[in-house]
Amino acid sequence: MSIKIKELRQKSKKELYVLLKDEREQLRKLRFENSEGKMRRNHLFAQRRKTIAKILTILKHEA
């Protein structure tokens, strides 16, 4: 499930950076699963990328 932008705006910068790191790690794991042929839920790629983009957008506007 994708995180809503409203929820992200309520978090502190530190929390956003931690969440960003976690999302990028999860995306990396998904890529490894896909390369091994174990991937069945391809929609997760888009969800992770969109969440990362939302976090980066909020961080950019806060700076």
Range(s) of the domain holding residue 31: 5-62
Q: What is the pTM (predicted TM-score) of this model? A: 0.87
3-state class (DSSP) for residue 40: coil
The domain spanning residue 26 has which CATH number? 1.10.287
Q: What is the pLDDT of residues 19-30, one digit of tens each?
A: 999 999 999 999
Average pLDDT over residues 38-44: 82
Taking alpha carbons only, the member of 47, 55, 45, 48 closest to residue 18 is 55
Neighbours of 37 (CB within 10 A): 7
- Number of domains present in the structure of the chain: 1
